[in-house]
Amino acid sequence: MTKLRQHFLPWIKVLLSQGLALGGLWLLPASILPGAPLILLLQGIAACAIGRALGLSLLWIPIQILLPLAIAYNAVVPSWVYPAALVFCLLIYWNSASEQVPLYLTNRRTWKALSDLVQTSGARTFVDLGSGMGGVVTYLARAHPSLQAVGLETAPLVFLASKIRVIATGRGNAKVTYKSIWEEDLSAHDIVYCFLSPVPMPRMFAKAKAEMRPGTLFVSNSFAVPGKEATDISDVADGRKTRLYIYRM
């Protein structure tokens, strides 16, 4: 049940935000509402705002905006649009199906908490397993010029976007690589960070124990390692009450 909830929760939030947006539009006087296409666009935009408040990432914005239009104009939408949309979603949420890891994005307050951890631990190398849009990598590279910050990502469009982001920062100590998290040699890093799901955590921690050097840190966002007590837990003062589970090897 936990796995199903993790995978379907974003879609439930999409439907909820769309319903709330539609209900809000129905409450407005008909005299001030624009024509049908603009109403549907407004519904999508309102759903985006509600979805963000519910914790949906920015990558859901295109789906939120296009969903009302696609439903209303289903009869006139070219048939190729739907398989194209499916391919687009697969290129973004690739790891959700292949490795049972949804696309979770680390928020800015957690970036700062990780930066503080880098500072206090004296880490010289950092790897983000499943680095998403590259926010953690670029932030840490800017905050700590002597730190080598590496991100690993295999969702094609997400990797491309993060690669562009890293290049745009111009930081030589930031790097994003198209590589499976299971193929990385964790012994090369002082801090190993991940924001995965409950499913791969036992296997990932076993890999960390086998490869990481004594004294290095394994940090998991939100998901504790089953049956293993964390060395420390860092509570992040953000809206979703993020917890960082820190394990010293």
CATH number of 108-248: 3.40.50.150
Average pLDDT rounded to a whole number, residues 174-190: 95
Average pLDDT rounded to a whole number, residues 45-63: 79
Q: Which of 88-97, 101-110, 149-158, 210-219 has the lowest mean pLDDT?
A: 88-97
Average pLDDT rounded to a whole number, residues 105-120: 94
Provide the residue ranges of all domains of the chain, joining segments of one domain with +.
2-77, 108-248
Average pLDDT rounded to a whole number, residues 146-155: 94
Report the distance separating Cα 128 and Cα 149, nearest Å.
Answer: 8
Tell me the three state secondary structure of residue 179: coil
Query: Structure tokens of 60?
Result: 């859901």
Task: Check whether 100 has a pLDDT greater than 60.
Answer: no
Report the distance separating Cα 123 and Cα 16, nearest Å.
Answer: 42
Q: Which of 75-84, 160-169, 225-234 has the lowest mean pLDDT?
A: 75-84
Beta-bridged to residue 174, according to DSSP, are 149
